[in-house]
Amino acid sequence: MHKKKEVIMMEKRVGFIGLGIMGMPMARNLIKAGFEVVVYNCTTSKAEQMVSEGVKKAD
* pTM (two decimals): 0.74
For residue 36, name the pLDDT band (cuts at 50, 70, 90).
very high
Q: Helices 44-51 and 23-32: crossing angle, nearest 10°?
A: 20
Q: What span, in angstroms and rounded, lies between the C-alpha atoms of 53 and 28?
A: 8
For residue 2, name the pLDDT band (cuts at 50, 70, 90).
low
Query: pLDDT higher for 36 or 7?
Result: 36
